[in-house]
Amino acid sequence: MSSTISEPKAYRAGKLAKLIDGLRYQGGIGQWSWLVHRVTGLGILLFLVIHVVDTFFVVFNPALYDHTVAIYGGVFGGTYYWPLRWAFRLAELGLIATVLFHAVNGVRVILFDFWNEGCKYQKESFRAVLLVFLALMIPAAIAVILPLATAPEHITQIPENVATARP
């Protein structure tokens, strides 16, 4: 299973070539799994920044929190827009896929780090990552997409904020 690994490429001159070389690595599955691991890591981080801010609303303005999370269900300004709901559902699925891939591939990276022989099985182990990923992703996709077949369960009215009355 051993493969010859070339020396890392030197950066070519020029900003664009440098960027492309920086994004690429040594070719093959190793390059792609590494790149996807990097992109998914950054994607989760971007989501997390937004998520920390929206969750912060819960502590000082319950109504603002409810208005914000209602958007995820397709309700904006008290009106329901089904395409909004569909868009958020697909994005939700994308988030789950992103985290699952990063998690499963991350475990593979960690196994390589603590078990030296592991690198010999780079290709096989990446196939295993894809299999585990799909095995988790298919039921998750069904669970997330199925509710779209019916109308939203909770299009709730949101009261005026009463939090300000609290001491």
Partner 1 sequence: MARNRIKPAGGFELTAWYFMRISGLVLVFLAVGHLFIMHIANNVENINYAFVAGRWADPRTGWIWRLWDLCMIGLAMFHGFNGLRQILDEHVHGAKARVAMHTTIWTVMTALIVLGTYAIWMFQEDRAYVEQWKAMNAKAVALQPPGAIHPSGGSHAAIRGKLPNIAGD
79 phi/psi in degrees, rounded to 5:
-115, 140
Is 6 a residue that touches partner 1 (CB under 8 A)? no
Q: Is 96 exposed, middle or buried (0-12, 13-18, 19+ CB in 10 A)?
A: middle
Q: Which residues, 34 to 63, sit near ligand HEM by CB under 6 A?
A: 37-38, 41-42, 44-45, 48
Q: Which residues, 66 to 125, sit near partner 1 by CB under 8 A?
A: 66, 69-70, 72-73, 75, 78-80, 82, 85, 92, 95-96, 99-100, 103, 106-107, 109-110, 112-113, 116-117, 119-120, 122
Is 31 a residue that touches partner 1 (CB under 8 A)? no
E strand spans, 67-116: 75-76, 79-80
Nearest to partner 1 of 134, 151 (CB atom)? 151
One-character DSSP codes across 8-74: PPPPPSSHHHHHHHHH--SSHHHHHHHHHHHHHHHHHHHHHHHHHHHHHHHHH-HHHHHHHHHHHTT
Q: Which does 29 bind (CB under 5 to 8 A by kind): ligand HEM, partner 1, none?
A: none
List contacts with ligand HEM (CB under 6 A).
37-38, 41-42, 44-45, 48, 99, 102-103, 106-107, 109-110
